[in-house]
Amino acid sequence: MHKHPSALGVATALKPAAPVTLIRPQAAARAARFFAEKFPGRSLYAVKANPSPDLLVTLWESGITHYDVASIAEVRLVARTLPDAKLCFMHPVKAEEAIFEAYHSHGVRTFSLDTIDELEKIMRATNDATDLELCVRLRVSSEHSELSLASKFGAELGETRDLLMATRQAADALGICFHVGSQAMSPVAYTNAIERVRAAIVDAAVTVDIIDVGGGFPSLYPGMEPPELEHYFTAIHRGFESLPVSYSSELWCEPGRALSAEYSSVVVRVERRRGKELYITDGAYGALFDAAHLGWRFPVALLREEDSAADLEGFSFYGPTCDDMDHMVGPFMLPDDVKVGDYIEIGMLGAYGAAMRTGFNGFTSDAVIEVEDEPMASLYAEPVPARRLATVIKLG
Ligand SMILES: *Cc1c(COP(=O)(O)O)cnc(C)c1O
């Protein structure tokens, strides 16, 4: 692994023609310690947000012992990288072969489901195992989140009673889980979802061993500055404590974004300028999927030895492929004298950015460099470095 003191150093010393992913293990470690110490229960890392083995090791070393995996490839990856980690297979619709291999070859005992069909599949694949932890996924609202997860998975109110009773019969430990959607901008999302859990427990009259409030914990992006994470933890703790099963059950959460967003950023070069449009070396098929498809604005900084004195202006980006859809509308705020050959750091791409890079059109890059400077924004830095904070406020 190459190391450099800073993003600026990478741009000026290496002048990379292809995008470079910068990683900041110290930022991911800080996020992991925050969850391990402050969440009032157990935190599972949702591997899909960023499956980089280096990140997995960093999180493990900082206190994250449980991993939420969703595919057999993720099961194998984490089992290989962290042999002592506990894996929880939390995709409600799995291939029977995947369940079989997870149970028999990798020691996975925790599975989620949202239908009787899936319960039967799990029982078949594990030969009616008696040591299963089975989590029934409830459908809850995504109304407080920037990214909905409400349509695809989750048992409806009318279905939960039979499903919870049948799963209780089959499971050694019964869990209830949900996901409020990603980048949840208010703790109320969790309070409301826990009310759904209460209604389901009362209706089915079952004892429950695990309450898993899922992911959705936000990170910090321009225009999306959430309340402090402690407020989320307080709301969840309060909701959990008020459930009739709290005295005998464990509380879990599954953060993906919140543990990985600050871990990486990308350094790109400007290849062309057309008015307020910049043609850069990474895009929708690289680490900027969410900027292209969701219109998310990420923090940006011009990487020049001498800071530009020009006013900030809003720019949009084109990625490197020949496709019109490779377009990030922004606005990304940069000094108005930005020009061809300049380097730009695009921040907060550790979650669902670096992980989604494709090789489309031949534009890809596996260059990764570890840097020691602070991420462009942080929910965990104490105190937030002044230059970085100023950047975020100006951009927001
Ligand atoms: C994607 C996902 C997560 C992580 O969500 P974030 O919004 O990144 O925290 C957690 N649990 C499940 C089941 C998921 O599908």
The predicted pLDDT at position 150 comes to 81
- Is the shortest distance between the CB of 375 and ligand 1 below 6 Å? no
Q: What is the pLDDT of residues 182-209, one digit of tens each?
A: 999 999 999 999 999 999 999 999 999 9
Higher-confidence residue of 208 and 1: namely 208
Cis peptide before 383 (omega within 30 of 0): yes
> What is the mean predicted confidence (pLDDT) over 243-262?
96
The predicted pLDDT at position 148 comes to 87
- Is the shortest distance between the CB of 46 and ligand 1 below 6 Å? yes
392 has a pLDDT exceeding 70: no
The predicted pLDDT at position 170 comes to 98
Mean pLDDT of the chain: 94
Where among 202, 235, 260 does a domain terminate?
260
- Is the shortest distance between the CB of 179 and ligand 1 below 6 Å? yes
Where among 260, 287, 308 does a domain terminate?
260
Q: What is the pLDDT of residues 133-166, one digit of tens each?
A: 999 999 999 989 998 888 889 999 889 999 999 9
Q: How confident is the model at residue 387 (pLDDT cuts 50, 70, 90)?
A: very low
Same domain for 318 and 250, yes or no, is no
- Calpha distance 174→153 (Å, rounded): 18
Task: State how far the alpha carbon of 137 is from the alpha carbons of 113, 159, 271, in Å.
Answer: 6, 11, 47
> For residue 295, how far is its CA from the centre of ligand 1 (angstroms)?
20
- Calpha distance 306→287 (Å, rounded): 27
H helix or E strand, kind and range, residue 136:
strand 133-137
The CATH number that applies at residue 179 is: 3.20.20.10
Please report, to the nearest 10 degrees, the dihedral formed by the alpha carbons of residues 375, 376, 380, 384 taken in order: 110
Same domain for 244 and 269, yes or no, is no
Where among 235, 260, 285 does a domain terminate?
260
- Other residues' Cβ atoms within 10 Å of the Cβ of residue 184: 27
- Is the shortest distance between the CB of 226 and ligand 1 below 6 Å? no
Q: What is the pLDDT of residues 268-299, one digit of tens each?
A: 999 999 999 999 999 999 999 999 999 999 99
390 phi and psi angles, rounded to 5 deg: -60, -40
The predicted pLDDT at position 157 comes to 85
Which of the residue ranges 47-51, 115-119, 155-159, 385-389 would you say has the lowest mean pLDDT?
385-389
Q: What is the pLDDT of residues 65-90, one digit of tens each?
A: 999 999 999 999 999 999 999 999 99
> For residue 68, how far is its CA from the centre of ligand 1 (angstroms)?
8
C-alpha Rg value of the chain to the nearest Å:
22
Q: How confident is the model at residue 396 (pLDDT cuts 50, 70, 90)?
A: very low
Q: What is the pLDDT of residues 295-333, one digit of tens each?
A: 999 999 999 999 999 999 999 999 999 999 999 999 999
The predicted pLDDT at position 383 comes to 62
| Domain extent for 284 | 2-23+261-393
> For residue 340, how far is its CA from the centre of ligand 1 (angstroms)?
38
Q: What is the pLDDT of residues 362-386, one digit of tens each?
A: 998 999 999 999 999 999 987 645 4
Q: What percent of the chain has pLDDT over 70?
A: 96
- Is the shortest distance between the CB of 256 and ligand 1 below 6 Å? yes
Q: How confident is the model at residue 353 (pLDDT cuts 50, 70, 90)?
A: very high
Ligand 1 mutation pick, 48, 94, 260, max ligand atoms within 8 A of CB: 48
Same domain for 58 and 175, yes or no, is yes
Helices marked H in the chain — which ranges? 7-14, 25-38, 53-61, 72-81, 96-106, 116-125, 157-170, 188-204, 229-241, 257-260, 289-293, 386-395
- DSSP designation for 228: P
- DSSP designation for 140: -
Strands 86-89, 66-69: pairing kind: parallel
Same domain for 244 and 312, yes or no, is no
> What is the mean predicted confidence (pLDDT) over 213-231?
96
Q: What percent of the chain has pLDDT over 90?
A: 91
The predicted pLDDT at position 280 comes to 98
12 has a pLDDT exceeding 90: yes
Same domain for 243 and 270, yes or no, is no
Same domain for 255 and 299, yes or no, is no
The predicted pLDDT at position 394 comes to 44
- Is the shortest distance between the CB of 68 and ligand 1 below 6 Å? yes
> What is the mean predicted confidence (pLDDT) over 107-117?
98
Same domain for 44 and 72, yes or no, is yes
Atom of ligand 1 nearest to the CA of 257: 8
The predicted pLDDT at position 189 comes to 97
The CATH number that applies at residue 15 is: 2.40.37.10
Same domain for 284 and 221, yes or no, is no
Ligand 1 mutation pick, 68, 210, 229, max ligand atoms within 8 A of CB: 68
Same domain for 48 and 142, yes or no, is yes
- Please list, in sequence order, all residues whose beta carbon lies within 8 angstroms of the beta carbon of residue 293, skipping any fewer than 6 positions away: 284
- Is the shortest distance between the CB of 218 and ligand 1 below 6 Å? no
Same domain for 48 and 152, yes or no, is yes
Atom of ligand 1 nearest to the CA of 260: 8
Please report, to the nearest 10 degrees, the dihedral formed by the alpha carbons of residues 361, 367, 368, 369 taken in order: -140
Instruction: Please count the structural domains in the chain.
Output: 2
Same domain for 96 and 48, yes or no, is yes
Same domain for 254 and 267, yes or no, is no
Which tokens in the block code for residue 248?
């005998």
